[in-house]
Amino acid sequence: MTRSLLYEGKAKKVYQTDQSNELILSYKNDATAFNGKKKEVFDGKGRFNNLISSHVFHYLAEHDIPSHFIKKLNDTEQLVKKTTIIPLEVVVRNRATGSIVKRLGFEENRPFHPPLIEFFYKEDALDDPIINDQHALLLTDATDKELEQIKAYALRVNDVLMNLFDSIGVTLVDFKLEFGRDLLGQIVLADEISPDTCRLWDKETDAKLDKDVFRQGTGDLLTVYDTILKRLEAIK
């Protein structure tokens, strides 16, 4: 398969394949936080992100959530459908922690029933600010109907993934999704779902099994990503 580099982001490279509607996502070993201000290379990180994200997207497909994911190619790469990404970070929260505690003063760990959805504008130069639906309509080409569809998908993803993570002894605290339009113009889930993009806490001990250990310098990233992968592989 011939390939050419289309785009290099902080965590992944994207290659065009010889099929016009198929891309390769290649996961890098770089970990970044605080919009790239903190950076470190972890040998093997790309493999964990790829294998965990492939597992999660496969599981979502089995639960009828449309996404860009086609298949895992090897340890660090996956084949995906080409999409035009809508520049929104869609965050779903089941409990208060992280930026929402700082921003709005919610008590740490306060549960959200129903889960809370927030939109952030994906724009590094602005540090991904939180926005409302009207801002999203002005800043992106998403329609009202598409925003509603995105919110409905985000809640379905939350339901499905809460069950998946619960079955491996993990609480899904919050996570970030990205959506794109496929070549038919349909909204599909895109990007990755991994401990880089989710807060995952051990159900018994509340130990953090996600990128917060790197962001906060409180633990070993590779060890906790390995824990998540091993637990997911054990239920295959």
Binding site for ligand 5GP (CB under 6 A): 89, 91, 98-100, 128, 174-176, 196-199, 211
Q: Looking at beta carbons only, is 9 or 169 nearer to ligand 5GP?
A: 9
Q: Looking at beta carbons only, is 15 or 214 nearer to ligand 5GP?
A: 214
Tell the smallest beta-carbon distance from residue 211 to ligand 5GP (Å): 6
Tell the smallest beta-carbon distance from residue 185 to ligand 5GP (Å): 26
Tell the smallest beta-carbon distance from residue 89 to ligand 5GP (Å): 5
Strands (E), the chain: 3-8, 12-17, 22-27, 30-33, 38-41, 69-72, 77-81, 84-85, 88-95, 111-121, 130-131, 170-181, 187-190, 198-202
Distance CA 195, CA 212 (A): 9
Tell the smallest beta-carbon distance from residue 130 to ligand 5GP (Å): 8
Residue 166: partners with Cβ closer than 8 Å, 6 or more residues away: 172, 203
Residue type, 117: I
Tell the smallest beta-carbon distance from residue 10 to ligand 5GP (Å): 8
Q: Among all residues, whose Cβ is closest to ligand 5GP?
A: 98
Q: Looking at beta carbons only, is 95 or 181 nearer to ligand 5GP?
A: 95
Q: Looking at beta carbons only, is 51 or 91 nearer to ligand 5GP?
A: 91
Residue 230: partners with Cβ closer than 8 Å, 6 or more residues away: none
Q: Looking at beta carbons only, is 82 or 176 nearer to ligand 5GP?
A: 176
Tell the smallest beta-carbon distance from residue 92 to ligand 5GP (Å): 8
Within 10 A of 160 (CB to CB), how many other CB atoms are there?
17
Q: Looking at beta carbons only, is 19 or 109 nearer to ligand 5GP?
A: 109
- Report the half-sphere exposure of 46 (CA within 13 A, side-chain side): 19
